[in-house]
Amino acid sequence: MPTLRGMGVLRIGVFGSRARGAGRVDSDVDVLVEFEAHRDLLDLVAVKQHLESVLGLPVDVTTPSGLRDSDRPAILRDLRYAA
Protein backbone atom coordinates (compact mmCIF):
# COMPACT_ATOMS: atom_id res chain seq x y z
CA MET A 1 0.00 0.00 0.00
CA PRO A 2 1.42 3.42 -0.88
CA THR A 3 2.25 5.88 1.84
CA LEU A 4 1.20 9.51 1.72
CA ARG A 5 4.85 10.59 1.79
CA GLY A 6 5.50 8.31 -1.16
CA MET A 7 2.65 10.08 -2.95
CA GLY A 8 4.38 13.45 -2.51
CA VAL A 9 2.41 14.67 0.51
CA LEU A 10 4.34 17.08 2.74
CA ARG A 11 1.50 17.92 5.15
CA ILE A 12 -2.09 16.82 5.49
CA GLY A 13 -4.87 18.07 7.70
CA VAL A 14 -8.58 17.67 8.32
CA PHE A 15 -11.03 20.57 8.43
CA GLY A 16 -14.80 20.99 8.45
CA SER A 17 -17.35 19.17 10.55
CA ARG A 18 -15.13 16.19 11.37
CA ALA A 19 -12.31 18.46 12.58
CA ARG A 20 -14.81 20.30 14.80
CA GLY A 21 -16.14 17.03 16.22
CA ALA A 22 -19.52 17.71 14.62
CA GLY A 23 -19.35 15.12 11.86
CA ARG A 24 -22.25 12.73 11.35
CA VAL A 25 -22.06 9.12 10.21
CA ASP A 26 -22.75 10.27 6.65
CA SER A 27 -20.34 13.25 6.73
CA ASP A 28 -17.46 13.30 4.29
CA VAL A 29 -13.90 14.04 5.38
CA ASP A 30 -12.53 17.40 4.23
CA VAL A 31 -8.76 17.25 3.75
CA LEU A 32 -6.16 19.91 2.96
CA VAL A 33 -3.01 18.50 1.34
CA GLU A 34 0.31 20.24 0.77
CA PHE A 35 2.36 18.50 -1.93
CA GLU A 36 6.04 18.60 -2.78
CA ALA A 37 6.84 20.56 -5.95
CA HIS A 38 5.80 19.33 -9.39
CA ARG A 39 2.75 17.37 -8.33
CA ASP A 40 -0.46 17.62 -10.34
CA LEU A 41 -4.17 16.81 -10.43
CA LEU A 42 -3.47 13.10 -10.91
CA ASP A 43 -1.55 13.09 -7.63
CA LEU A 44 -4.47 14.81 -5.91
CA VAL A 45 -6.90 12.20 -7.26
CA ALA A 46 -4.58 9.38 -6.15
CA VAL A 47 -4.47 10.76 -2.59
CA LYS A 48 -8.28 11.11 -2.57
CA GLN A 49 -8.76 7.52 -3.71
CA HIS A 50 -6.17 6.23 -1.24
CA LEU A 51 -7.81 8.02 1.70
CA GLU A 52 -11.29 6.85 0.71
CA SER A 53 -9.99 3.28 0.56
CA VAL A 54 -8.30 3.49 3.96
CA LEU A 55 -11.07 5.42 5.75
CA GLY A 56 -14.05 3.83 4.06
CA LEU A 57 -15.63 7.29 3.82
CA PRO A 58 -16.07 9.87 1.07
CA VAL A 59 -13.17 12.35 1.07
CA ASP A 60 -12.95 15.85 -0.40
CA VAL A 61 -9.35 16.88 -1.01
CA THR A 62 -8.05 20.36 -1.73
CA THR A 63 -4.72 22.19 -1.67
CA PRO A 64 -3.89 25.61 -0.21
CA SER A 65 -4.00 27.15 -3.68
CA GLY A 66 -7.42 25.59 -4.25
CA LEU A 67 -9.04 27.41 -1.33
CA ARG A 68 -11.42 30.25 -2.12
CA ASP A 69 -10.44 33.46 -0.35
CA SER A 70 -13.90 33.65 1.24
CA ASP A 71 -13.55 30.13 2.72
CA ARG A 72 -9.90 30.36 3.79
CA PRO A 73 -10.38 31.88 7.31
CA ALA A 74 -12.95 29.28 8.41
CA ILE A 75 -10.93 26.40 6.95
CA LEU A 76 -7.71 27.53 8.61
CA ARG A 77 -9.55 27.97 11.92
CA ASP A 78 -10.85 24.37 11.77
CA LEU A 79 -7.71 22.80 10.31
CA ARG A 80 -6.07 20.03 12.32
CA TYR A 81 -2.82 18.74 10.85
CA ALA A 82 -1.87 15.10 11.25
CA ALA A 83 1.11 14.48 13.52
Set out the domains of the chain in order of their start, with CATH numbers. 5-81 (3.30.460.10)
43 labelled catalytic: no
Q: Could you tell me the pTM of the whole model?
A: 0.90
Which listed residue (26, 30, 40, 71) is catalytic?
30
What are the backbone angles phi and psi of residue 22, rounded to the nearest 5°? -110, 10
71 labelled catalytic: no
What confidence tens digit (pLDDT) does each residue in 31-48 have? 999 999 999 999 999 999
Q: Where is 11: in which H helix or E strand?
A: strand 9-15
Tell me the average pLDDT across 61-68.
95
Q: Which pLDDT does position 83 carry in this prediction? A: 59
CB 29 within 8 A of CB 18: yes
